[in-house]
Amino acid sequence: MKITPNVSLKNYNTFGINAIASSFVSVTTIVELKEALSTKAVDRKFILGGGSNMLLKNDVSALVIQIGLKGIDTVKENQEHIWLEVAAGENWHDFVMYCVNHNYGGVENLALIPGNTGTSPVQNIGAYGVELKDVFDSCKALDRNTLESKTFTHFECKFGYRESIFKSEAKDSFVITSVVFKLTKTNHKLHTEYGAIHEILEAKNITIPGIKDIAEAVINIRSSKLPDPRVLGNSGSFFKNPVIDIAEFKAIQRIYPEMPFYPVSESLIKVPAGWLIEKAGFKGKRFGDAGVHSRQALVLVNYGEASGDDIWSLALKIKKEVRDLFNIVIEPEVNIVE
Ligand code: EPU
């Protein structure tokens, strides 16, 4: 285990923010991870996965521990299902393609989501009608204080829309080391209901799609709407879609009848933050090196040299405009690292 002082995190966060870690270590085994967590040399420890869902506002005065645990193992299988244990440091999209290539169904709609498998449960990643919780079986996590491994069941993870126990009660207390997924081997339950997937399959004359067709359609949609972080720094959706009261929704709908919406319950409606931000005039706007993506207003981008503060100031500006215009408060989806 080699601890290096003053390391730039620019290549370790998909926003491409040039924050400096006061010390940095990459761990590839549980033993190394325990060693790094227990080192007395630096008090504060900061766990880094794929760096795809965070905004580094400042330099990080901590030992940054980059999780490089690798491996995909079969836990058990029967005729219908296979349970795979995936180490936290496996790239999420590579894992999705591994499943697609082995004809294991369940994660194909989640293709091309940036980040690592270990952080996928933290915010219950989701896209195109599927959420991580639909295929999640359990995960193993190391208690940061006792260094003991604990298994979290599905129930214990308390999944919600882009939420889990790892963002609330258990925030900063555990390091997820592996995740077990329950995937289908036959009779795949395909989710094609999302409009754009449907359109792509129809255009290709695919009437009985397989999981590969779905993955390809999702890759197609995402690449056409969402910027590739290797080309343009970003963290996917910056804000969550807000859930508002139906009375509030109706008042806004009277002024903007075209506003898209998704009922959540009898009294609550989810509205797309991307639409609100576009209406507030931010889509495609650039402020220095911080900007709002031209094809999806929910995504903030770094044109090169934006600092964490530049992106954050833009986020606050957007938040204020959306509140002034619609009286709706939008909250970040990404973790803001102070
Ligand atoms: N819209 C606009 N303008 C925009 C963006 C969106 O008018 O600039 C409208 C669209 O026309 C559509 C609606 O808003 O009517 C919803 O847009 P979209 O289908 O693109 O989905 P989203 O709600 O903006 C969510 C997830 C994405 C995920 C997509 C597809 C959140 C915060 N984001 O976005 O997740 O890929 O659905 O399922 O829930 C991510 O989390 O990083 C992410 C990209």
pLDDT bucket at 41, cuts 50 / 70 / 90: confident
Q: Which atom of ligand 1 is nearest to the CA of 296?
A: 8
Q: What domain count does the chain have?
A: 3
* Arithmetic mean of pLDDT, 225-235: 94
- Of 52, 275, 294, the one to substitute when testing ligand 1's pocket (max ligand atoms within 8 A of C-beta) is 275
Q: Which atom of ligand 1 is nearest to the CA of 260?
A: 15
Indicate the Cα dihedral angle 96, 101, 106, 107, nearest 10°: 10
Considering the entire predicted model, what is its pTM? 0.93
Domain span including residue 301: 233-337
pLDDT value of position 232: 96
| pLDDT tens-digit map of 323-337 | 999 999 999 999 999
Asked if residue 266 belongs to a domain, the reply is yes
Asked if residue 209 belongs to a domain, the reply is no
Q: Does 173 lie in the same domain as 132?
A: yes
Q: Does 59 lie in the same domain as 96?
A: no
Q: Does 36 lie in the same domain as 107?
A: no
Q: Does 80 lie in the same domain as 62?
A: no
Asked if residue 322 belongs to a domain, the reply is yes
CB 82 within 8 A of CB 185: yes
Q: Does 78 lie in the same domain as 63?
A: no
* CATH at 55: 3.30.43.10
Asked if residue 220 belongs to a domain, the reply is no
User: How far apart, in whole angstroms, are the C-alpha atoms of residue 77 and residue 66?
Assistant: 31
pLDDT value of position 42: 85
| Domain final residue pick, 67, 94, 114 | 67
Closest residue by Cα to atom 25, ligand 1, is: 127
Dmax over CA atoms of the chain, in Å, equals 61
* Arithmetic mean of pLDDT, 143-154: 97
Q: Which atom of ligand 1 is nearest to the CA of 194?
A: 38
Q: Does 107 lie in the same domain as 35?
A: no
Q: Does 87 lie in the same domain as 175?
A: yes
| pLDDT tens-digit map of 174-183 | 999 999 999 9
Q: Does 156 lie in the same domain as 54?
A: no
| pLDDT tens-digit map of 259-279 | 999 999 999 999 999 999 999
Asked if residue 204 belongs to a domain, the reply is no
Closest residue by Cα to atom 27, ligand 1, is: 127
| pLDDT tens-digit map of 58-83 | 999 999 999 999 999 999 999 999 99
Closest residue by Cα to atom 15, ligand 1, is: 260
Q: Does 90 lie in the same domain as 161?
A: yes
Q: Does 164 lie in the same domain as 100?
A: yes
Does residue 286 register a pLDDT over 90? yes
Asked if residue 224 belongs to a domain, the reply is no
Closest residue by Cα to atom 26, ligand 1, is: 127
Q: Does 150 lie in the same domain as 113?
A: yes
Asked if residue 191 belongs to a domain, the reply is no
Asked if residue 215 belongs to a domain, the reply is no
58: how many CB neighbours lie within 10 A of its CB? Answer: 14
| Domain final residue pick, 33, 67, 101 | 67
pLDDT value of position 29: 97
pLDDT value of position 194: 84
| pLDDT tens-digit map of 238-254 | 999 999 999 999 999 99
Pocket of ligand 1 (CB under 6 A): 127-128, 226, 236-237, 240-241, 260, 272, 274-275, 278, 283, 296-298, 333
* CATH at 276: 3.90.78.10
| Domain final residue pick, 184, 202, 219 | 184
Does residue 164 register a pLDDT over 90? yes
